[in-house]
Amino acid sequence: MALIGSGGAGVVTVGNLLLEAAAVDGSYGLMRRSAGPQIRGGESAALLRFADTPVEYAGDYYQLLIAFDWRHAERFIDEIRLAASSCVLHDPAGGDVPEPIVHTGARLIPIEMQTQAREIECGRANMIALGLVSSITGLKLETISSTVSRSLSAKGENVIAGACACLERGANMGQSLGIELPLPIAHVGTEDRWTITGNQACGLGALKGGVRFVAGYPITPASEMLEWLAPRLAKMGGCLIQAEDELASVNMILGASYGGVPAMTVTSGPGLALMTEGIGLAVASETPIVVIDVMRGGPSTGIPTKSEQTDLNIALYGMHGEAPHVVVAPVSIPDSVFTTQWAVHLAESLQTAVIVLSDQQLAQSRMVVNRPPDIGFVTRRVTAQAGVENYRRYALRADGVSAMAIPGTIGVNYTADGLEHDERGTPSTGSHDHLRQLNKRATKLTGFDYGDHWADIEGDGTIAVVTWGSCTGAVKEAIRRVGEQGVPVRLIALRLLAPLCKQQLNQALEGVERVLVVEQTFSRQFYHYLRSQVDLPKFTESLARPGPLPLAASEISAMLLVDGA
Amino acid sequence: MTNPQEIATKAEFLAHAFALEQESVDRYEELADAMDTHNNLEVAGLFRKMAEFGRKHAVEVERLAAGSDLPTLEPWDFKWADDEGPETGDYADIDYMMTPVQALQFALANEKRSRDFYGLVASHSPNQTVRELAGEFTQEEAEHVTLLERWIARHDSDTTIADDLDPPNIVD
Amino acid sequence: MNPLSDKIEPKDYKSDVKPVWCPGCGDFGVLNAITKALASLRLAPEQVALISGIGCSSRVPAYTNVYGFHGIHGRALALGAGLKAARPDLHIVVAGGDGDGFSIGGNHFLHACRRNMDMTYIVMDNEVYGMTKGQASPTTAPDWTESELTPSGTHARPFQPAAIALAAGATFIARAFSGKPNTLAQMVVLAMQHPGFAFIQVLSPCPTFRPEQKEWKNIVRPFAVDALPTSDPALAALHCQRDDGMSTGVIYVEARPVWKRSDMQEIAIDDIEQEFRI
Ligand SMILES: Cc1ncc(C[n+]2csc(CCOP(=O)(O)OP(=O)(O)O)c2C)c(N)n1
Ligand code: SF4
Ligand SMILES: [Mg+2]
C-alpha cells in the first residue's frame, strides 16, 4: 500500500498510525519513506507492506495507492510500481491522474477526501484515508481510533473528535467500494513484538553493547539516531555531544574511549569521508571506536534522502596507510540491534575501529519485528592492572591484543600514539618496529573467532546469492519465490565485510556452481571486492543497480531463473 | 622581579641554594641529552660535566641542611634576581652546533649569575648567619668563574657556528 | 630522613624519552613549566592526561609520565573534549603548536572556547610550522618571506589568538614566554585551577626556522597595565588590540558555568526497550 501527497497532507503520519494499528491487530509490517527535497510542505510517500510473518522487503508492486494529490508525483512514480490489478484511490481535487499511472491499467477511483474532511470540524483528509484503509483491510476501527487518539493526545479533544469522525466517515465510504485486501494476521500473540526503525535499532544495539559516549554532527539520514540516543544516553549515565564537525566527532570518541568508555559516532557518507584520518588514528593507536555510516546516495552531497550501498569502498579502503579495521553491516532492521551490539563487542575486544554500514532504507524504515533476542557474549576490553612491571602498551602477543591502561590506573601511564611506535609506544621509524606493529594490528583481526556471525546462510542448492545489507530483504523474497518454482537457491548474506572470512565463505559456497552477487551500487563494488578476495565459481554474475530505486525481488528472481550456463 | 636581599633565614637560604643546584643539574642534563640527540657529543660531554659539578654542590647543600626543615617554595616564590634560577641559562644561547667554547661561555654566565646572587644575599640579608653562609657561597662561585675563564682561555676561541651542510629534516 | 629528597619534584613528571627538539627550542621551557606546575599542584601523574596533535610542540606528551595521547594534526582539542566528557575526574591539559591549533584545528579552537569545558590549552606559538620545515603559520607576520612556499609573504593578517579566544568565549586567557618557565608554571597552575576552558598562548621561539626569535627574550615584557587581568571582555579586548602581541600576563578571567554532563542514572536498557513494544 502506498500513500502519496504533498504540502502537509500527513502521509507519513497516516503510514505510522497504520503500521502501529496493524501491529496491535496482529499483523507484521514494514513502512518505508520517500521524500522530496523540501524541508516543509514537500511531497512525500509512505510505502507499506503487511504480512503474517516479519516483512523485510517492501514488495514488487502496490495493490493500493492512495493519492491526496499528484504534485511532483513524477519523483516517486518509478518507486511506486503498480499492476493492472491495483486500485488507485485519488482525490480529484488533487489534479488529473498522471499518464504513467493511467497506463498501468490499475483501477482508478476518485474519492473526495478533501471535500469530505472539510465538512467535519477539525477534519483532515488523511484521517478519511485512514478510515478508507480500515474498511478495505478489515483493520478494526476501534484499534485505529485508539491509536489515533493516543498519538493526538497532546492536540486537544476537538482534534481527536474530528479525527475520529473522519475515520468513521472514511470507513463508511470504503464499504461501498467493493475492494477487499484483508490484512494478513499472524496467529501467535503480539506481546513480544516491537515497532522499530533501523536507526533506533542501531542506537539500541549500541546501548546494549555498552556505548556510553557518542559524539556526532547532524546529517541525513543519520541524525534521527543521534536524536534518539541523546536523551537516552543521558538518562543511562552516559553522554552525547553535538560536535562542531565530523573531524571533532571522531576525535572526541577517540578521547572518550581512551578514557575507558565505549564510544561511538554516527554519520553518513560525507561525514565518513571527513572521519577517515581519525579512524586511522584509532587503528594505529589501537583505541576502540564504533563508527556508524548510514549510507545515502553519493558522491558528494548526492541524494541525501535516499538509499545506496556505495560507501562500501570507502569503508573498506578509505584509510591511508595500511589500517586493518572491521566493517560490518546489518542484514535487516531487527539485525541492526545485534550487528551494532556486536560491533561494540568487536571494537572493544580487538581494540580497533569498527565501521557499521547501515543505509537509508534500513535506517528510516519502520518495521514490526519479533523482539530481537538478547546476546550472550560479555564485552570487555583487556586492560592493564595497576603497577604491572615494565608495562608495554603495544606489547606483542600471540593474539595481537595487548592490555590497554585506562587513565587513573597507577603505574602504567603511557602515551597513545598515531606515530608508528615500539612496544612501549615510543615513536619509532625503524623498519622492525613498523613490521611488528603492522603484523600485530593485522593478525589480531584475522586470528579472531567471529563464530557464525560473519554471515546469515540459508538453504542449499547449486545456485547461491551472495549479498549484504538492505538488499538481503529483496534477495530472501526472490529466493522464496524461485524456491516455490522448484529451484533451490542458497543465501549468503555477509554481516562481516572486513576482514572477509574467506575460508568460511569458501565452505559456504561448497557445491555451488553458479553465484549471483547482488548489491545496490553502480560500479559493482561488492562484486569486485569478493572477486579480489576469493575464487568464486566460473559462473558468477553481478546484479548491481545504484539508488535511489530499491532492488525488486522480481528482477532478482528473474536472473536466478535464467539459465546461467 | 624579586629580591635576593630579602632572604632572611638559614632555611630559606639553603632552600634557594639547593634549588639553584638542582635546577642547574636538571638543565645541564637536559641540554646534554639534547646535544647527544643532535650529535654534538663534545658539548654534550661538557654539559654532562657541569651537571656533575652541580650534583656535588647539591650534596654539600643537603649536608648543610641536615636536620633543618627547609620551606617548600613554589617555582615563582623564589627570590632570585630574575624570575628564573641563576644557573638555568637562556635557551636562546643554545644551538645544536655550538662550539665547546660557547658551551663554556654559557656555563660562565651561569656561574656569574650565581656569584652575583649569593653576593647580593651576603651583603644585604638582614640575618648575620645567612650573610656569612652566602659569603662562603659567593667565594665558591667566584672560584668557578675563575676556573671557567681559565678553561675558556685554554680553548680554541672559535665561536663561529659551522654551516650545516644538510638541510633540516621534515619529521611528522 | 633527608629533608630534600622526599619532595615532589618536577622531574618526577618527566619520562625517560629524550625530546627530539632542537637544542635551544622554546618548547623545552614549556615542558619544564608544565612539569613544575604539576609538581606544584601535587597531582598524581595518573590523574592527569596531556593531549596533543602533530608538530614539534605536539611531541610533548611522551616527554612526561602522565597519561598522554599524541593524536593527529589539529584535533587535540576535540580528543581532549571527548576524554573530559567521558572522564570528568581527570585533569586535562591539551598542548600543541600555532599551526595545529589555529590553522588546521582553528574550528575546534573556537568551539572549545565556546564550550567552556574544564581543561587547559597551551599553544606553543613560534609563528611558524616547525616540524614541516618552516612554512608560514596563521600567526606569521604578512611580510615574512623566508619560506619558499610564500616567497613574497602571506599578505594575510596574523591570527590574534587572545582576541579570538576572547570573542569565542574562553573564560581564562593568558600570554606567556617560554624563556620564563617559572612564570609560565605559575600561569599553568592558575589555568588548571580555573574552572572552565583556560587558554595560554606561549611565545615559544623556534631558533631553527625563526632565528630572529632569539631576540624575543629582550622584547617580551609583562602587560604594563594594572587593569589586567580583568573580567570585563570589553576591557580585555581593548588591551589585546592595543598590544603588539608581546606583552605577557593573565589577560582575562571570567566565572561562567562550566560544561557539565548530566549524571542521571534513571533508566536501564529494559526501560528503553519498553518504548518499542506494541
Ligand atoms: C593532516 C595533516 N596535514 C599536514 C601534516 C603535516 N604537518 C605536520 S606538523 C605541521 C605543522 C606544525 O606546525 P605547528 O602546529 O605550529 O607546530 P610546531 O612544529 O611549529 O611546533 C604540519 C603541517 C600532518 N601531519 N597532517
Ligand atoms: S624546528 Fe623549531 S619548533 Fe621544531 S624543535 Fe626545532 S626549534 Fe623547536
Ligand atoms: Mg608552530
Asked if B38 and C22 come within 8 Å (Cβ–Cβ), the reply is: yes
Bridge partners, residue A214, by sequence = A240, A264
In a domain, B134, yes or no: yes
d(CA B89, nearest CA chain C) in Å: 10
Asked if C68 and A414 come within 8 Å (Cβ–Cβ), the reply is: yes
Q: Which of C274, C240, C161, C165 is nearest to A232 (CA)?
A: C274
Tell me the CA–centroid distance for residue C158 and ligand 3, in Å. 13
In a domain, B163, yes or no: no
Predicted confidence (pLDDT) at residue A67 exceeds the cutoff of 60? yes
Which tens digit of pLDDT belongs to each residue from A508-534?
Answer: 999 999 999 999 999 999 999 999 999
| Subunits with 3+ C-beta pairs closer than 8 A to A | C
Residues of B in contact with C41 (CB under 8 A): none
**pLDDT score recorded for residue B163:** 80
Which tens digit of pLDDT belongs to each residue from C80-101?
Answer: 999 999 999 999 999 999 999 9
**pLDDT score recorded for residue A423:** 98
Q: Which candidate in A190, A202, A235, A252 is best for mutational testing of the C interface (most C CBs within 10 A)?
A: A252
Q: What is the largest CA-CA distance in chain C?
A: 76
**pLDDT score recorded for residue A6:** 86
Predicted confidence (pLDDT) at residue A160 exceeds the cutoff of 60? yes
**pLDDT score recorded for residue C172:** 98
Whole-structure pTM value: 0.96
Q: What would the mean pLDDT of C11-17 be, rounded to a whole number?
A: 96
Looking at chain A, the whole-number percentage of residues with pLDDT higher than 70 is 99
- A-facing residues of C in 20-49 (CB < 8 A) are 44-47, 49
Of A196, A278, A408, the CB nearest to C47: A408
Residues of C in contact with B31 (CB under 8 A): 23
Asked if B18 and C4 come within 8 Å (Cβ–Cβ), the reply is: yes
Looking at chain B, the whole-number percentage of residues with pLDDT higher than 70 is 98
Predicted confidence (pLDDT) at residue C5 exceeds the cutoff of 60? no
Q: How many CB atoms lie within 10 A of CB A95?
A: 13
Bridge partners, residue A297, by sequence = A303
Asked if the C-beta of C246 comes within 8 angstroms of chain B's C-beta atoms, the answer is no
Looking at chain C, the whole-number percentage of residues with pLDDT higher than 90 is 95
**pLDDT score recorded for residue A565:** 40
**Ligand 2 pocket: which of C18, C20, C25 to mutate (most atoms <8 Å of CB)?**
C25
Bridge partners, residue A195, by sequence = A368
Give the CATH superfamily of A2-175.
Pyruvate-ferredoxin oxidoreductase, PFOR, domain III (3.40.920.10)
- Decide: C52 in ligand 1 pocket, CB within 6 A: no
d(CA B23, nearest CA chain C) in Å: 10
Q: How far is CA A109 from the centre of its chain?
A: 35
Which domain covers residue B27, as residue numbers? Answer: 4-154
d(CA A541, nearest CA chain C) in Å: 40
Sheet holding A489-494, edge to edge: A455-458, A489-494, A463-468, A514-519, A539-544
| Subunits with 3+ C-beta pairs closer than 8 A to C | A, B
Ramachandran angles phi, psi of A354, nearest 5°: -120, 125
Give the fold, CATH level 3, of A452-564.
Rossmann fold (3.40.50)
**Number of CB pairs, chain B paired with chain C, less than 8 A apart:** 109
Where does the pLDDT of residue B74 fall: very low under 50, low under 70, confident under 90, or very high at 90 and above? Answer: very high
State the pairing for strand pair A44-51/A28-35.
antiparallel
Which tens digit of pLDDT belongs to each residue from A278-298?
Answer: 999 999 999 999 999 999 999
Looking at chain A, the whole-number percentage of residues with pLDDT higher than 90 is 92
Tell me the CA–centroid distance for residue A79 and ligand 3, in Å. 55
Give kind and range of the element (H or E) at residue C191. Answer: helix C181-193
Name the grid cell of C144: 615574512
Q: Which of A174, A113, A112 is nearest to A139 (CA)?
A: A174
Tell me if residue A265 falls in helix, strand or coil.
strand
Q: Which of A106, A75, A76, A72 is nearest to A89 (CA)?
A: A106
Q: How many CB atoms lie within 10 A of CB B106?
A: 21
ipTM of the complex model = 0.97
Tell me if residue A466 falls in helix, strand or coil.
strand
Predicted confidence (pLDDT) at residue A349 exceeds the cutoff of 80? yes
Residues of C in contact with A278 (CB under 8 A): 72, 75
CATH of the domain at B16: 1.20.1260.10
- Decide: C99 in ligand 2 pocket, CB within 6 A: no
Q: What would the mean pLDDT of A173-180 be, rounded to a whole number?
A: 93
Predicted confidence (pLDDT) at residue A180 exceeds the cutoff of 80? yes
Predicted confidence (pLDDT) at residue A460 exceeds the cutoff of 60? yes
Residues 6+ apart with CB under 8 A from A79: A34, A45, A47, A548, A549, A550
d(CA B142, CA B129): 20
Predicted confidence (pLDDT) at residue B157 exceeds the cutoff of 90? no
- Decide: C98 in ligand 1 pocket, CB within 6 A: yes
Predicted confidence (pLDDT) at residue A226 exceeds the cutoff of 70? yes
d(CA A125, nearest CA chain C) in Å: 26
Residues 6+ apart with CB under 8 A from A142: none
Of B34, B72, B96, the CB nearest to C7: B72
Where does the pLDDT of residue A34 fall: very low under 50, low under 70, confident under 90, or very high at 90 and above? Answer: confident
Q: What would the mean pLDDT of C219-227 be, rounded to a whole number?
A: 95
- Decide: C100 in ligand 1 pocket, CB within 6 A: yes
**pLDDT score recorded for residue A516:** 98
In a domain, B84, yes or no: yes
- Decide: C124 in ligand 2 pocket, CB within 6 A: no
- Ranges of beta strands (E only) in A228-312 are 239-242, 263-267, 289-295
- Decide: C54 in ligand 1 pocket, CB within 6 A: yes
What does pLDDT average to over chain C? 96
Tell me the CA–centroid distance for residue B94 and ligand 1, in Å. 24
Q: What would the mean pLDDT of B8-18 be, rounded to a whole number?
A: 96
Predicted confidence (pLDDT) at residue C1 exceeds the cutoff of 70? no
- What domains can be seen in chain C, in order of their start residue? 16-274 (3.40.50.970)
**pLDDT score recorded for residue A563:** 65
Q: Which candidate in C31, C126, C182 is best for mutational testing of the B interface (most B CBs within 10 A)?
A: C182
B137: left (phi over 0), alpha (psi -120 to 50) or beta: alpha
Which tens digit of pLDDT belongs to each residue from A319-334?
Answer: 999 999 999 999 999 9
Question: How is chain A split into domains, by residue range?
Answer: 2-175, 195-370, 382-448, 452-564
Peptide bond into A221 cis (omega under 30): yes
Residues of B in contact with C207 (CB under 8 A): 91-92, 94-95
Predicted confidence (pLDDT) at residue A419 exceeds the cutoff of 60? yes
State the pairing for strand pair C221-222/C172-177.
unpaired
| Protein residues with C-beta less than 5 angstroms from the ion ligand 3 | C 97-98, 126
Predicted confidence (pLDDT) at residue B101 exceeds the cutoff of 50? yes
Tell me the CA–centroid distance for residue C146 and ligand 1, in Å. 18
Instruction: Report the top-level CATH class of A195-370.
Output: alpha beta
Tell me if residue A528 falls in helix, strand or coil.
helix
Of C78, C110, C277, the CB nearest to A194: C277
Asked if A258 and C79 come within 8 Å (Cβ–Cβ), the reply is: yes
Asked if B34 and C217 come within 8 Å (Cβ–Cβ), the reply is: no
**A448 class by beta-carbon count within 10 Å (0-12 exposed, 13-18 middle, 19+ buried):** middle
Name the grid cell of B29: 642534563
Ramachandran angles phi, psi of C123, nearest 5°: -110, 120
Where does the pLDDT of residue A16 fall: very low under 50, low under 70, confident under 90, or very high at 90 and above? Answer: very high
Name the grid cell of C140: 606569521
- Decide: C56 in ligand 1 pocket, CB within 6 A: yes
d(CA B55, nearest CA chain C) in Å: 13
Q: What would the mean pLDDT of B66-73 be, rounded to a whole number?
A: 91
Asked if the C-beta of B1 comes within 8 angstroms of chain C's C-beta atoms, the answer is no
In a domain, B65, yes or no: yes
Asked if C264 and A371 come within 8 Å (Cβ–Cβ), the reply is: no
In a domain, B73, yes or no: yes
Asked if the C-beta of B90 comes within 8 angstroms of chain C's C-beta atoms, the answer is yes
Tell me the CA–centroid distance for residue C21 and ligand 1, in Å. 14
User: Of all atoms in ligand 1, which is nearest to the CA of residue C100?
Assistant: 15
Q: Residue A421 carries which DSSP code?
A: B
Asked if C28 and B33 come within 8 Å (Cβ–Cβ), the reply is: no
Which tens digit of pLDDT belongs to each residue from C139-159?
Answer: 999 999 999 999 999 999 999
User: Residue of the nearest CA to atom 6 in ligand 2?
Assistant: C22
Tell me the CA–centroid distance for residue C73 and ligand 1, in Å. 6
**A37 class by beta-carbon count within 10 Å (0-12 exposed, 13-18 middle, 19+ buried):** exposed
Where does the pLDDT of residue C2 fall: very low under 50, low under 70, confident under 90, or very high at 90 and above? Answer: very low
User: Of all atoms in ligand 2, which is nearest to the CA of residue C27?
Assistant: 8
Asked if C69 and A215 come within 8 Å (Cβ–Cβ), the reply is: no
- Decide: C27 in ligand 2 pocket, CB within 6 A: yes
Tell me the CA–centroid distance for residue C162 and ligand 1, in Å. 21
Residues 6+ apart with CB under 8 A from A383: A260, A403, A404, A405, A406, A409
Number of structural domains found in chain B = 1
Q: What would the mean pLDDT of C218-243 be, rounded to a whole number?
A: 96
Where does the pLDDT of residue C6 fall: very low under 50, low under 70, confident under 90, or very high at 90 and above? Answer: low
- Decide: C95 in ligand 1 pocket, CB within 6 A: no
Asked if C69 and A278 come within 8 Å (Cβ–Cβ), the reply is: no
Tell me the CA–centroid distance for residue C139 and ligand 1, in Å. 14
Residues of C in contact with B102 (CB under 8 A): none
| Fold equal for A195-370 and A452-564 | yes
